[in-house]
């Protein structure tokens, strides 16, 4: 594979994920059957996904200079993610969340972000961008994302935006900076009144010059619009059917696999298919990013999919 690394910038949290029989509708006590703690966040999980696929990846983010932050760094080191550009902000608590997942996969998420977490991006190691094969940003640290995307665009390095739900004005500010705009379904419908995702995606695509604009639809797959010299092609990509135990972080695994494919120079169809299969495989396992596949596992599943249609 290419030796060029991938930079992921954005959200960093410490998750406590609890499997429960049901989520109480009112106050009380509920005992979990499984408990997992792990480094998480959209950009963080994308970075872990890339590392598991064998890619060289760096996370650029901010956490607190506390014990939780140290656990975050150690967890990512175990996964092979470079955290040299994860800033430890003094006297700030690392963002964290508690997540209850019931037997039907429904979730209750309670995150905490310390308001003192510094948004300044002036310290980022922008000189490292020149050697990157792709950069991926989420919508949770706009100051850093704008700086990274602007520099990457000047250098001709592919820019990928994980455009999840955010204030509409922020989405509209960030999307023109990306070569690949990948929207969640709720984010897409916040930008358009069109009822169908196809029509909504075409409306959004008409306002952008990105190479690829897509929307992920969970078990319904994804819809991707590819720019072709002013014209465009709209394609629907199905996903595989799985018995889903936990969909937490599925979109983040999708985006990480997509970035890996872009950095490796895969064509769009292969990239989207691999991302869809990787995200589906994640859903077969409880524990958020714990289900993200390693490269050999993904390649084996892709081969099984290809064999099934021969």
Could you tell me the two tokens for 166? 């955010």
> 7-16, 24-33, 38-47, 167-176: lowest mean pLDDT where?
24-33
- What is the predicted pLDDT for the residue at 274? 98
- Cα separations (Å) of 50 from 7, 76, 148? 10, 12, 19
- What is the predicted pLDDT for the residue at 16? 98
DSSP class of 82: B
| Whole-angstrom distance, CA of residue 107 vs CA of residue 120 | 32
pTM over 0.85: yes
Structural domain boundaries of the chain? Answer: 5-24+32-308
pLDDT confidence tier of residue 309, bands split at 50, 70 and 90:
low
| Whole-angstrom distance, CA of residue 305 vs CA of residue 68 | 40
- What is the predicted pLDDT for the residue at 310? 60
| Whole-angstrom distance, CA of residue 126 vs CA of residue 225 | 30
pLDDT at 229 exceeding the cut of 80: no
86-109: average pLDDT: 95
pLDDT at 266 exceeding the cut of 60: yes
pLDDT at 219 exceeding the cut of 80: yes
β-partners of residue 38 are 15
Tens digits of per-residue pLDDT, 99-151?
Answer: 999 988 889 999 999 999 999 999 999 999 999 999 999 999 999 999 999 99
> In the 3-class helix/strand/coil scheme, how is 168-189 assigned residue by residue?
HHHHHHHHHHCCEEEEEHHHHH
Name the average pLDDT for the chain: 96
Tens digits of per-residue pLDDT, 18-36?
Answer: 999 999 888 889 999 999 9
CATH entry 3.40.190.170 includes domain 5-24+32-308: no
Tell me how far the alpha carbon of residue 89 is from its chain's centroid: 23
Number of Cβ within 10 Å of residue 117's Cβ equals 17
What is the enclosing helix (H) or strand (E) of 47?
helix 42-52
> 11-20, 23-32, 84-93, 156-165: lowest mean pLDDT where?
23-32
241-256: average pLDDT: 95
Tens digits of per-residue pLDDT, 181-209?
Answer: 999 999 999 999 999 999 999 999 999 99
| Whole-angstrom distance, CA of residue 53 vs CA of residue 270 | 15
- What is the predicted pLDDT for the residue at 69? 99
Given the DSSP bridges, would you call strands 180-184 and 13-19 parallel, antiparallel or unpaired? Answer: unpaired
pLDDT confidence tier of residue 1, bands split at 50, 70 and 90:
very low
DSSP class of 241: -
User: Which residues, at least 6 apart from 211, have a Cβ–Cβ distance to it below 8 Å?
Assistant: 179, 180, 226, 227
User: Which residues, at least 6 apart from 207, have a Cβ–Cβ distance to it below 8 Å?
Assistant: none
Positive or negative: CA dihedral 194, 278, 243, 76: negative
pLDDT at 6 exceeding the cut of 80: yes
> 240-244, 252-256, 289-293: lowest mean pLDDT where?
240-244
């Amino acid at each position: 594979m290419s030796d060029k690394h991938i930079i992921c910038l954005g959200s960093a949290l410490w998750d406590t994920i609890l499997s429960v029989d049901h989520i109480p509708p009112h106050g009380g006590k509920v005992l979990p059957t499984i408990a997992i703690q792990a480094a998480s966040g959209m950009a963080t999980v994308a970075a872990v996904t890339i590392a598991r696929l064998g890619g060289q990846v760096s996370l650029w983010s901010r956490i607190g200079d506390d014990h939780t932050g140290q656990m975050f760094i150690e967890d990512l080191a175990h996964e092979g993610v470079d955290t040299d550009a994860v800033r430890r902000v003094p006297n700030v608590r690392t963002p964290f969340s508690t997540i209850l997942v019931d037997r039907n996969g429904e979730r209750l998420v309670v995150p905490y972000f310390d308001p003192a977490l510094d948004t300044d991006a002036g310290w980022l190691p922008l000189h490292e961008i020149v050697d990157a094969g792709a950069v991926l940003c989420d919508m949770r640290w706009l100051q850093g994302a704008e700086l990274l995307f602007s520099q990457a665009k000047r250098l001709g390095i592919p820019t990928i935006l994980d455009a999840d739900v955010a204030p509409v004005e922020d989405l509209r500010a960030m999307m023109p900076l990306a070569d690949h705009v990948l929207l969640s379904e709720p984010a897409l419908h916040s930008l358009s009144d069109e009822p169908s995702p196809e029509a909504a995606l075409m409306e959004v695509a008409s306002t952008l010059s990105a190479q690829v604009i897509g929307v992920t639809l969970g078990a319904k797959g994804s819809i991707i619009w590819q720019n072709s010299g002013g014209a465009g092609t709209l394609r629907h990509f199905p996903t595989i059917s799985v018995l889903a135990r936990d969909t937490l972080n599925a979109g983040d695994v999708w985006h990480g696999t997509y970035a890996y494919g872009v950095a490796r120079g895969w064509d769009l169809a292969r990239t989207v298919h691999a991302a869809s299969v990787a995200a589906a495989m994640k859903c077969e396992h409880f524990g958020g990013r714990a289900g993200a596949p390693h490269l050999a596992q993904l390649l084996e599943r892709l081969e099984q999919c290809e064999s099934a249609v021969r």
